Amino acid sequence: MSSFRLFLIGILVIPFTLLSCGSDDNYIPVDPVVEDPVLESPVNYDLAAFPFTTLSEYNFFEGNLVELEPVYGVIPYNLNSGLFTDYAHKKRFVWMPDGSKANYVNDYSILDFPLGTILIKNFYYDNVQPNNTSQVIETRLQIKKEEGWVFANYVWNEEQTEATFDLNGSFVPFQFMHETELMDVNYRIPSGSNCLTCHKSDNDVALPIGPKPQNLNKSYNYSDGSMNQLQKWIEFGYLEDSLPEHIVSTINWEDEALPLDLRVRSYLDINCAHCHADERHCDYRPVRFEFNLSEDISNLGVCIEPHEVFDPSLTYIVNPGNAERSVIATRINSTEESIRMPLLGRTITHIEGAQLIEEWINSLTNNCE
């Protein structure tokens, strides 16, 4: 073969060889490792500067403020049974500083929250007249500072664009539809001293009322699915993973499929126990409404004579089989400030709650003689 022919063959073969070496049918490209971004809550945290003048300064919510859409780190929660506040609806949230978490104490005590925790509770109504609109009335904060829990109440403006810090207390009159009934309410926004009346413990130290394991032990429909609230807090890093296997819990008093006595005990716990407990505002009265103590029905006032006689016909706090002659039924039905129970937090009668208590009393067969 001539040298010229070999030269031509070489020219043709070399590019083919280069092309063959430059490709690999088994090659799998490897994407570079990209770590998930570390999410941080955009809440404006300045413990020394709290409370701020306006609600928006905290940056708890994104978008239109009145929509109450929480930012990352502000977690919604609910209670098995809620405190009645003149039929107001409530949206509750919790926020904690990065890297801090609450600790379990027992089933019936407030969680041991870390410094900087903020509990957020918004009070609003649907079907406000005359235009059947929704209206946020107030937002209450409890902030855990070095000196303890402090209150910060924010009153919403008529335009529903902002809420302003105000601990002076006030009343907001309006009408709203409750089911098919038109109701008038002179809604009471509490003062700082009003807040302390319900929230104080021994030595006038303020404490939250609702966020106890017994009240939080329920599922919540989060944006990413339903989950037990306590487990959600653990997963998010807001609660130490030290819960017992079983938590003795309150129930939803509105669920008529559940036992009547448990519904009553749950209702009285959330509505009345914060005052009727040791070292609390009404500790001098002979009843104890805490759920963990009320299995003994004498603590609920059954066959117990009242501490204060304002009507001689009311022979017992709970007169078995006779709601009309029971102090507790009279107080729950009353709107007179000197008689009604709870003392604060409502200006109108909780019809369904009163019916629950009356049904329970009339079902009792205990003999007080």
Alpha helices, H only, the chain? 3-21, 192-199, 213-216, 229-236, 260-272, 327-333, 351-363
The residue assigned the tokens 């809550």 is 41
Predicted local confidence at residue 205, as pLDDT: 74
Using DSSP, state whether 329 is helix, strand or coil. Answer: helix
Distance CA 128, CA 158 (A): 13
Whole-angstrom CA distances from 349 to 178, 293, 332, 336 are: 12, 26, 7, 10
Sorted by sequence, the CB contacts under 8 Å of residue 128 that are 6+ apart come out as: 134, 135, 174, 175, 176
Residues 135 and 237 in one domain: yes
What distances in angstroms separate CA 300 from CA 230, 273, 291, 292, 360, one per listed residue? 29, 10, 10, 12, 12
Q: Tens of pLDDT along 7-22? A: 333 433 334 343 334 4
For residue 7, being part of any structural domain is answered with: no
Q: Which two tokens stand for residue 72?
A: 């990352």
Q: Is residue 11 one of the residues assigned to a domain?
A: no
Q: Are residues 228 and 271 in the same domain?
A: no
Same domain (yes/no): 324, 242: no
Distant-in-sequence, close-in-space partners of 177: CB < 8 Å, separation ≥ 6: 127, 129, 132, 183
Q: Is 231 a domain residue? A: yes
Last residue of a domain, one of 222, 249, 276: 249
Cis omega before residue 130 (within 30°)? Answer: yes
178 within some domain = yes
82 & 230 share domain:
yes
User: Is the CB of residue 74 less than 8 Å from the CB of residue 91?
Assistant: no
Residues 166 and 302 in one domain: no
- Looking at the fold, whether 196 and 328 belong to one and the same domain comes out as no
Which of 197, 215, 249 is a domain's end point? 249
Expressed as residue numbers, the domain containing 60 is 34-249
CA–CA separation, 354 and 328 (whole Å):
9
Q: Are residues 266 and 227 in the same domain?
A: no
Question: 296: which residues sit within 8 A by CB, 6+ positions away?
Answer: none
Q: Within the chain, what is the greatest distance between any pair of CA atoms? A: 134
**Antiparallel, parallel or unpaired: β 133-145 and 69-70:** unpaired
End residue of a domain, out of 188, 220, 249 = 249
Instruction: Note whether residue 12 is domain-resident.
Output: no
Let me know if residue 191 belongs to a domain.
yes
Query: What's the pLDDT score for residue 7?
Result: 39
pLDDT value of position 127: 95
Query: Which amino acid appears at position 90 of this protein?
Result: K
Task: Flag whether 129 is in a domain.
Answer: yes
3-state percent breakdown (helix, strand, coil) of the chain, nearest 5: 25, 25, 50
User: Is the four-CA dihedral 4, 8, 14, 15 of positive or negative sign?
Assistant: positive
273 and 356 co-located in one domain: yes
Based on the fold, state whether residues 172 and 262 are members of the same structural domain.
no
Q: State residue 4 phi and psi, 5-degree precision.
A: -65, -40
Q: Is 164 among the domain residues?
A: yes
Question: Given this model, what pLDDT does residue 21 score?
Answer: 41
**Would you state the pLDDT for residue 181?**
92
Angle between helices 351-363 and 260-272 (to 10 degrees): 130
Taking the C-alpha atoms of residue 120 and residue 75, their distance in angstroms, rounded to an integer, is 10
8 A C-beta contact, residue 33 and residue 4: no
Question: Are 45 and 193 within one domain?
Answer: yes
pLDDT at position 191: 81
What residues in the chain have per-residue pLDDT under 70? Answer: 1-38, 192-194, 196-199, 202-204, 274-286, 342
Same domain, 111 and 241: yes
**Helical spans, DSSP H, in 129-228:** 192-199, 213-216
**Total count of domains within the chain:** 2
Contact between 234 and 75 under an 8 Å Cβ cutoff? The reply is no
Residue 211 and residue 95 in one domain: yes
